[in-house]
Amino acid sequence: MRSRALVIVVAMAVGLPGGSALAAPPAEPRAGAPAPVRSEPRPGDRMVQVGVGLVVTGLLGYGLMAAGLGIGNRAEADLVFLSERDDVAARRDVLARGQLGNRLAIAGAVTATTAMAVGIPLIAVGRRRHEASLARLTIGGPAGSLGLRVFGRF
């Protein structure tokens, strides 16, 4: 029974592409086969990519701000609880946590606002440049005529 399971596992490993060293090497492309076509980057593609990265950074900054506000809120609640006691060391720890929460909230808000303010316009301008670089083909013309128009921008 175990040898049958081992044979099945080995057969599956050989049959899967890249599954093991026993698998057959990938076939070479034939000489007559067309080479894969790589599209060239169009104007604005990099701007869109950087803009998306900045928007994601902005969203992470807003998350950092929310975490800082949560830490500060928790520290304030703990400080209200400690106001009835005379434990100075515990109060210092809670105040330090509150300051950390405030710093995180401020850093997150500044980072998020700056990243969003730069990222969103980069996406908009990059998309506009990308779409403007595409060639346009229209069939037809003024009313009652037939024609072919090709528009392109560089």
Residues 41-69 have pLDDT tens digits of 666 788 888 999 999 999 999 999 999 99
**∠ CA(92), CA(96), CA(97), 5° rounding?**
120
- Over range 111-123, report the average pLDDT: 95
pLDDT digits (tens, 9 = 90+) for 86-105: 788 888 999 999 999 999 99
Task: Supply 25's token pair.
Answer: 């090497």
110 pLDDT above the threshold of 90: yes
Q: How many residues can be counted in the chain? A: 154
Task: Supply 43's token pair.
Answer: 């104007």
The more confident residue out of 1 and 106 is 106
pTM here is 0.58
Nearest to 94 by CA among 77, 106, 117: 77
pLDDT, averaged across the chain: 77
Residue ranges per structural domain of the chain:
45-132
3-state helix, strand, coil in the chain (%, to 5): 65, 5, 30
Residues in contact with 18: Cβ distance below 8 Å, sequence separation at least 6, in sequence order: none
